[in-house]
Amino acid sequence: MLPKSIQNLINHFTKLPSVGPRQAARFVFYLIKQPKKDLEEFAKTLFGITKNLKKCSSCFKAIDVEGLPANPPAGVAGRHGSVSYVCDICKNPKRDKSFICIVEKDTDIESIEKTGRYNGLYHVLGGNEIKDFSEKNLRELHLKELIERIQPPAGHPQGEKKIKEIIIAISATTDGDTLALYISRLLKPLSLPVNKQGIKITRLGRGLSTGSELEYMDEETLSQALLGRK
């Protein structure tokens, strides 16, 4: 039998996505061979994220608050009645605030930023991996807050903001498609004229991805690639 402290640590690693007990054991036996100082550093960093990490009160992107003064924009602080933080993208005056790109998770923002093709704002749905569409799961998706961002109550300072387009940038998987459909239906009433201007609701284009061969493409993707030819 393995020592208890090793077994406990293996159990913690086994909870990580797609890590089995065998790989977790390998992690742990690797770790116990590392210098004591490195391990302490790892543990400290892990502990740190419970304290240092908050979410942007506007787009729900994770932000580091270590040594950061709470800096709520007018009208936001009051809403939740507590100190709130705003991320670098939402604060950046050079970003085009008439575009909101809905993503599932923070890393998707990284991916989109790397393309250099988008200069609007984001909205992170968060929540756990979406596997079922129970009410409980849907409630965790910050959709209520998304609607508030798009259609602020009358008299609200954000009310002036004219959102032109909402891009649903969700994976083209079955679950992703279902979620995207759900969101686009939810937003449909809002796509009616706001301040005399309609909001366009779009999804990422479908077609051949780099490296894909005609021979292995499914019918649906090939249809989309034909329709989207240019």
User: Segment 12-51, which members bind a second copy (CB under 8 A)?
Assistant: 12, 16-19, 22-23, 25-33, 36, 39-50
Q: CB-wise, 88 or 96, nearer to a second copy? A: 88
How many Å apart are CA 42 and CA 17, to the nearest integer?
19
How many Å apart are CA 199 and CA 185, to the nearest integer?
13
Q: CB-wise, 135 or 215, nearer to a second copy? A: 215
Q: Please, which of residues 98-137 interact with a second copy by CB under 8 A?
A: 103-108, 110-112, 114-118, 126-128
Q: CB-wise, 96 or 110, nearer to a second copy? A: 110
Q: Please, which of residues 53-72 interact with a second copy by CB under 8 A?
A: 53, 62-64, 66
The phi and psi torsions of 112 (rounded to 5 degrees) equal -70, -40
Binding of a second copy at residue 181 (CB under 8 A)? Answer: no
Binding of a second copy at residue 230 (CB under 8 A)? Answer: yes
Pick from 147, 190, 194, 225 the residue near a second copy by CB under 8 A: 225
Query: What are the start-end ranges of the E strands in 24-172?
Result: 53-55, 62-64, 99-103, 121-124, 165-168
Minimum CB distance to a second copy, residue 47 (Å): 4
Minimum CB distance to a second copy, residue 138 (Å): 16
Q: Using alpha carbons, list the distances in angstroms from residue 4 to 7, 78, 184, 209.
A: 5, 48, 50, 48
Whether the CB-CB separation of 109 and 174 falls below 8 Å is answered with: no
- Residue that is written with structure tokens 């690797």 in the block: 30
- Scanning 70-78, 142-150, 153-161, 222-230 for contacts with a second copy by CB under 8 A, the matching segment is 222-230
> Which residue type occupies 129?
E
Whether the CB-CB separation of 154 and 111 falls below 8 Å is answered with: no
